[in-house]
Amino acid sequence: MIDYDGRRFRPAEADAQGRTALYRQEGDLLWGTFSGGRARRGSLTGVCAPDGSLDFAYSMVLDDGEVVSGHCRSTPELREDGGIDLREEWERFGAHAAKGVSYLKEVK
């Protein structure tokens, strides 16, 4: 199992400066916080499978005050430098429901 505790991630896009997430882990329990971009603050809670994949719910408050929630399944890819890249398949619920795929890179 991958230990995500204390690892920081940012979106893979080149213009993602200032957008970061900090993951915490205890056993298979995963939680974290994130901010930047349109997200004033967000949090996630879920589980880590033995293969390192993540299954979690998230919620966030956007810069316009809208509250958004959804679900995400992340699949890790280990880099040669020991870092982790995550492929995220996400689904947003509510009035602005959407689905998509995004990518995170670990930053050290």
pLDDT digits (tens, 9 = 90+) for 51-93: 999 999 999 999 999 999 999 999 999 999 999 999 999 999 9
Q: Which two tokens stand for residue 51?
A: 């293969």
Contact 30, 56 (CB under 8 A): yes
Cα separation, 108 vs 18, in Å, equals 14
Mapped onto helix, strand or coil, the DSSP state of residue 24 is: strand
- Mean of the per-residue pLDDT values of the chain: 94
Distance CA 80, CA 24 (A): 23
- Bigger pLDDT: 18 vs 62: 62
Q: Specify the range with the lowest mean pLDDT, choosing from 14-23, 24-33, 37-46, 53-62.
A: 14-23
